[in-house]
Amino acid sequence: MAENQSNANGSLKKYDEHVPEIKFTKLFINGEFVDSVKGRTFETIDPRNGQVTARVAEGDKEDVDLAVEAARHAFDDGPWPRMPGYQRGRIMSKFADLIEENIDELAALDTIDAGKLFSICKVLDIPQAATLLRYYAGAADKIHGEVLKMSRELHGYTLQEPVGVVGHIIPWNFPTTMFFMKVAPALAAGCTMVVKPAEQTPLSALFYAHLAKKAGVPDGVINVVTGFGSTAGAAISSHMDIDMVSFTGSTEVGRVVMQAAATSNLKHVSLELGGKSPLIVFDDADLEAATDLALTGILFNKGEICVAGSRVYVQERIYEEFEKKLVAKAKDWSVGDPFDPNVHQGPQADKKQFEKILSYIEHGKREGATLLTGGERVGTEGYYIQPTIFTDVKEDNMIVKDEIFGPVMSLMKFKTVEEAIKRANDTRYGLAAGILTKNIDLANTVSRSIRAGVIWINCYFAFDNDCPYGGYKMSGFGRDLGLDGLHKYLHVKSVVTPIYNSPWL
Amino acid sequence: MAENQSDANGSLKTYDDHVPEIKFTKLFINGEFVDSVKGRTLETVDPRNGQVTARVAEGDKEDVDLAVEAARQAFDHGPWPRMPGYQRGRIMSKFAVLIEENIDELAALDTINGGKLFSFSKAMEIPYAVTSLRYYAGAADKIHGEVLKMSRDLHGYTLREPIGVVGHIIPWNGPATMFMMKVAPALAAGCTMVVKPAEQTPLSALFYAHLAKKAGVPDGVINVVNGFGPTAGAAISGHMDIDMVSFTGSTEVGRIVMQAAATSNLKQVSLELGGKSPIMVFDDADLDSATDLALTGILVNKGEVCVAGSRVYVQERIYEEFEKKIVAKAKAWSVGDPFDPNVRQGPQASKEQFEKILSYIEHGKREGATLLTGGAPLGTKGYYIQPTIFTNVTEDNVIVKDEIFGPVMSLMKFKTTEEVIKRANDTRYGLAAGILTKNIDLVNTVSRSIRAGTIWINCYLAFDNDCPFGGYKMSGFGKDYGLDALHKYLHVKSVVTPIYNSPWL
């Protein structure tokens, strides 16, 4: 059998019984599932075999208008922003419970939509979404303003008020995680929202909308408009009655979103964009753990993660052994049907991504990079690609500069700490970075020297609900997760009154 | 003599001795006063008489490039971001002392540039800017990250790191205040910067740059490039090596700045834009103080304040008496040479503004509004306009919708609390609002109901260094003043490491 292959084609038939019944295919507006105004639908494709799974309602500007109307009414006049934070928290907790009761079905939807590993969705993605909801549920009644220390006889304080109607534009790589990363804090803040899931992965979002209503989220608070970026997405970024747009996706589309916000109503914008994150392995690192981490860093979710450790720098003393170990592990990494519990890597999310990654791989070969392993597709059906490692490349090679968003690593050697820092920072991106060393001084120096929003020391992908997450430079601005994620959906209002005969200021 | 006139023309001769010698007219880049690359200069005009005061170097893209280069070098390799916050604070404090030693000259520069009242600049505006500098000097060594409460065996904390090179684009209405409002927190944060003062008011910024150097601010940390918006300003918003742009000005230009940021390098943006702020006078308000407050709210700095209380709503029971009192006070408000200590209002800042305001006044007359007082220019030289009050208008009228940025008030009557809340919120802006009443319940309800960033209760223009200031809706986003402004110039970086055998998380 070819390297990495795990019956990628022969075994597809075995998993058909895992494919769930698709229950929700319409837009969710003001608490109801409705067809789009124009009556259009679009196909959603299973990346395991390239086949059409379902047809889903396709929303456009008119549908976004209806959704915003519902969200505006729910915000200006509905109960959600007005109820105590505790009550919002109770409803969000019920929502979390309902998610846990439907884990298998939700995980299966993300598997057939995005090619994600079923077993990982079941134990990680979906349960984490529930914990994230509960984290913000518990924060909803602890939203504090401050009393200020004025410099004359004034009483001044700040209120943190919900921003209003929020537009969430979410990507296809983590349909569940991304949905809740945005929806959960906005709900806790008392905002109402219009969610536009990626066109590649519309299914689980619609199920979540159904569960939200079941949990008691009032009509109009969460609206889901599935559709395309240039139509539904653009309608959101440029809407005159949306107060804020929160976008996760590519840097190119991030620009378009920000421009649309500027030319429309100057809505608040938060962008979580691409990355080309470096993993720096110092020569005191344990080779077993380091190679495992580096491989997971690029292959987790088939490389379709904004913080993928796509540039791996290894200190020269341990380079040869590291390269040998890593390549052997990469060759062993099994690629196949994501329902197969023994498989490490499913198919890329769609044909476009598949072709884009292969074209970057070809470019790498043409640029004269050395291909250590992989570099080809797996099988003849679906969008499977071999774990791929290039070496003999530098920061000006295209495959080292651009975000490939696939299972393709650039492996490089370095001598000194100063060199590693310089090269790690030689990128327009600044999302994350990994540092592998036990030396405390190295860890402190290098963590402060890398211009990135998240630094993982002796770990990678170590996300946590309480840990703010977001980029420097062209990886975007604004933070998700943590209380920073909550504050993003809150306005600061200052209230000032004179005081008289006060003992002190 | 005509209403409001205070020898607006006859007495100009007696103040020529107050016009200071113009010492600094070149660009300030990397610690040196230099000509612009193209050698061009621009005229700066005295709004008291329309005459040219001086020619100042005119910066364009090439000059901004040089300034950014200097700022980048100062940030990436210079001492400023690396020294302890305490040391930055000491230098900023020296800067504050030097400003106090030169107050007369600095006040005079703003008077001949912006038509600002000399006595007010000396006693209030510049000393207040100095307190802002000291406020942030004292904050520079108290910049805290947080240790997070992770949900598994991880140690996570956030660092607050200076964003990098900041572009400040400042307006002409308060050259001293605006310069310090932006420069002070950015300095405290350890950033370096390129400041583009408004082309109408270039003089004091250059003097401040000279004093900054004298105080010990290292070369390249503060650069000042005078010039026009579409050239120097655009070069800043669109620069690929500026990490953040902080803009105060009109909503129209705010859009352009945000778009340029999006199409260039997705730099962070903060915008403090226009307003059409309402003052609501309830019928338990004291008429004398209410009319004083309302008049000051629109006439301070000749109405050239973003938070001008340009819409005044008076509850019907007291309306007639209020209208009578305020018109009498407006007629007694003296307009004349801003060096004259007895004058309350100087000229508008430029010919362009002068003509714009007069055109809005004409529009008001044509729309059928009732002109209670004012409505005409004063004198034959310079840009003086009478305090103007219109009534019998609604939120549909152009003069009630648009920001006029001049001494023009729209006075309206209201019946109920619900009505005034609705009408106060009926605007695309959301910068500030004033509420005049002693009733605690009314205060609490209305302050939460108005969608604006600053609510002043029984006071107006009650700014304070510790009090965050910024808009809702199309008045912008991001805060100035307070610790919020300092945080604006700081990135949040998360650092995460596994822990072992810890007694607790």
Reported as a single tens digit per residue, the pLDDT across A237-289 is: 999 999 999 999 999 999 999 999 999 999 999 999 999 999 999 999 999 99
Q: Which residues of B touch A273 (CB under 8 A)?
A: 266
Q: Do A464 and B150 touch (CB under 8 A)?
A: yes
Q: Do B496 and A148 touch (CB under 8 A)?
A: no
User: Quick one: DSSP state of residue A381?
Assistant: S
| B5 confidence band (pLDDT: 50, 70, 90) | low
Q: Which residues of B touch A149 (CB under 8 A)?
A: 466
Smallest Cβ distance to B255: which of A262, A470, A476? A262
The whole-number pLDDT of residue B10 equals 45
Distance CA B175, CA B249 (A): 12
Distance CA B314, CA A282 (A): 71
| A15 confidence band (pLDDT: 50, 70, 90) | confident
Min Cα–Cα distance to chain B from A124, Å: 14
Min Cα–Cα distance to chain B from A468, Å: 6
The per-residue DSSP string of B382-445 comes to S-EE--EEEES--TTSHHHHS---SSEEEEEEE--HHHHHHHHH-SS--SEEEEE---HHHHHH
Instruction: Give B500: exposed, middle or buried? Use CB within 10 Å, 0-12, 13-18, 19+.
Output: exposed
Distance CA B212, CA A302 (A): 53
A479-503 mean pLDDT = 96
Smallest Cβ distance to A495: which of B148, B266, B447? B447
Min Cα–Cα distance to chain A from B270, Å: 10
Cβ-Cβ contacts under 8 Å between A and B: the total is 172
The DSSP bridge pattern shows strands B165-169 and B244-248 to be parallel
Amino acid at A415: K
B416: tokens are: 């109920």
E strands, A120-277, where?
154-162, 165-169, 192-196, 222-224, 244-248, 268-272
Distance CA B434, CA B419 (A): 16
Q: How many CA atoms lie within 13 A of B112 on its CB side?
A: 23
Amino acid at A81: P
Q: What is the pLDDT of residues B396-428, one digit of tens each?
A: 999 999 999 999 999 999 999 999 999 999 999
Q: Do A466 and B156 touch (CB under 8 A)?
A: yes
> What burial letters (b/e) apply to A134-162, b meaning 16+ CB within 10 Å?
bbbbbbbeebeebebebeeebebbbbbbb
Question: Catalytic site residues of A?
Answer: 272, 306
Instruction: Name the nearest CA neighbour of A278 among A382, A426, A154, A172.
Output: A426
The whole-number pLDDT of residue B410 equals 98
Q: Is the pLDDT of residue A227 over 60?
A: yes
**For all residues of chain B together, what is the average pLDDT?**
96
Smallest Cβ distance to A457: which of B254, B470, B495? B495
Q: Do B148 and A491 touch (CB under 8 A)?
A: no
Min Cα–Cα distance to chain B from A477, Å: 7
Min Cα–Cα distance to chain A from B6, Å: 33
Min Cα–Cα distance to chain A from B469, Å: 7
Q: Which residue has the tokens 């395991």?
A: A48
Disruptive mutation site among B266, B270, B429, B456 for chain A (greatest number of A CBs within 10 Å): B266
Q: Do A457 and B497 touch (CB under 8 A)?
A: yes
Known catalytic membership, residue B352: no
A219-240 mean pLDDT = 98
Chain B residue at shortest CA distance from A450: B493
Q: Which residues of A touch B458 (CB under 8 A)?
A: 497-498
Q: Which residues of A touch B493 (CB under 8 A)?
A: 452-455, 472
Smallest Cβ distance to B496: which of A159, A251, A459? A459
Using DSSP, state whether B86 is helix, strand or coil.
helix
Q: Do A459 and B498 touch (CB under 8 A)?
A: yes
B379-387 mean pLDDT = 95
Q: Which residues contact A13 (CB under 8 A, 6 or more apart)?
A: none
The CB density around residue B415, as the number of other CB atoms within 10 Å, is: 10
Provide the phi-psi class of B19: left if phi over 0, else alpha when psi is between -120 and 50, else beta. beta
Q: Do B495 and A265 touch (CB under 8 A)?
A: no
> What burial letters (b/e) apply to A203-237, b meaning 16+ CB within 10 Å?
bbbbbbbbbbbebebbbbbbbbbbbebebbbbbbb
Q: Which residues of A touch B498 (CB under 8 A)?
A: 458-459, 462
Q: If you count them, how many residues does chain B have?
A: 505
Q: Do A271 and B266 touch (CB under 8 A)?
A: yes
Chain B residue at shortest CA distance from A425: B76
Output the CA torsion sign for B430, A500, B416, B401: negative
| B18 confidence band (pLDDT: 50, 70, 90) | confident
Q: Do B255 and A273 touch (CB under 8 A)?
A: no
B356-374 mean pLDDT = 97
Smallest Cβ distance to A156: which of B243, B467, B470? B467
Instruction: Name the nearest CA neighbour of B246 among B164, B311, B319, B305.
Output: B164
Chain A residue at shortest CA distance from B430: A493
The whole-number pLDDT of residue B16 equals 80
Q: Which residue has the tokens 């429309």?
A: A264
Chain B residue at shortest CA distance from A263: B255
Min Cα–Cα distance to chain A from B262, Å: 5
Amino acid at B91: I
Contact present, A54 and A22 (Cβ < 8 Å): yes
Contact present, B478 and B247 (Cβ < 8 Å): no
The per-residue DSSP string of A84-104 comes to -HHHHHHHHHHHHHHHHHTHH
Chain B residue at shortest CA distance from A484: B492
Q: Which residues of A touch B238 (CB under 8 A)?
A: none
A43-48 mean pLDDT = 95
Smallest Cβ distance to A467: which of B469, B477, B496? B496
Q: Do A151 and B482 touch (CB under 8 A)?
A: no
Q: Write down the catalytic residue from B58, B199, B304, B306.
A: B306
B148: tokens are: 């997070």
Smallest Cβ distance to B151: which of A150, A464, A495? A464
Q: Do A262 and B266 touch (CB under 8 A)?
A: no
CA distances from A376 to A371, A407, B391 (A): 11, 11, 76
Question: What pTM value is reported for the model?
Answer: 0.94
Q: What is the pLDDT of residues B208-239, one digit of tens each?
A: 999 999 999 999 999 999 999 999 999 999 99
The per-residue DSSP string of A414-459 comes to E-SHHHHHHHHH-SS--SEEEEE-S-HHHHHHHHHHS--SEEEES-
Phi/psi at B350 (5° precision): -155, 170
Smallest Cβ distance to B459: which of A251, A479, A497? A497
A344: tokens are: 């490490």
Output the CA torsion sign for A168, A173, A179, A182: negative
The whole-number pLDDT of residue A12 equals 47
Instruction: Name the nearest CA neighbour of A251 among A90, A24, A403, A36.
Output: A403
Distance CA B366, CA B63 (A): 46
Smallest Cβ distance to B265: which of A159, A469, A474? A474
Provide the phi-psi class of A184: left if phi over 0, else alpha when psi is between -120 and 50, else beta. alpha
The CB density around residue A336, as the number of other CB atoms within 10 Å, is: 28
Chain B residue at shortest CA distance from A262: B255
| B199 confidence band (pLDDT: 50, 70, 90) | very high
The whole-number pLDDT of residue A10 equals 45
Q: What is the pLDDT of residues A463-475, one digit of tens each?
A: 999 999 999 999 9
Disruptive mutation site among A495, A500, A505 for chain B (greatest number of B CBs within 10 Å): A495
Q: Which residue has the tokens 């003001």?
A: A30
A64-81 mean pLDDT = 98
Distance CA A193, CA A244 (A): 9
Q: Do B259 and A255 touch (CB under 8 A)?
A: no
B462: tokens are: 């009650």
CA distances from B79 to A418, B220, B254 (A): 18, 10, 33
Q: Do B266 and A258 touch (CB under 8 A)?
A: yes
Q: Do B496 and A456 touch (CB under 8 A)?
A: yes
Q: Is the pLDDT of residue A414 over 80?
A: yes
The per-residue DSSP string of A247-304 comes to EES-HHHHHHHHHHHHHTT--EEEEE-----EEEE-TTS-HHHHHHHHHHHHHGGGG-
Q: Which residues of B touch A154 (CB under 8 A)?
A: 459, 462, 464
Q: Do B158 and A468 touch (CB under 8 A)?
A: yes
Distance CA A237, CA A263 (A): 10
Distance CA A164, CA A240 (A): 13
Q: Do B466 and A495 touch (CB under 8 A)?
A: no
Maximum alpha-carbon separation in chain A: 87
Distance CA A120, CA A114 (A): 13
Q: Write down the catalytic residue from B272, B304, B323, B403.
A: B272
Distance CA B499, CA B505 (A): 9
Q: Do B476 and A266 touch (CB under 8 A)?
A: yes
Q: What is the pLDDT of residues A118-127, one digit of tens each?
A: 999 999 999 9
Instruction: Name the nearest CA neighbour of A292 among A320, A332, A337, A336.
Output: A332
Q: Which residues pair with B451 in a beta bridge?
A: none
The whole-number pLDDT of residue B14 equals 64
B30: tokens are: 């990397």
Angle between helices A175-189 and A85-101 (to 10 degrees): 160
Output the CA torsion sign for A202, A204, A210, A213: negative
Distance CA B32, CA B24 (A): 11
Scanning B190-306, the segments in alpha helix (DSSP H) are 203-215, 234-237, 251-263, 287-299
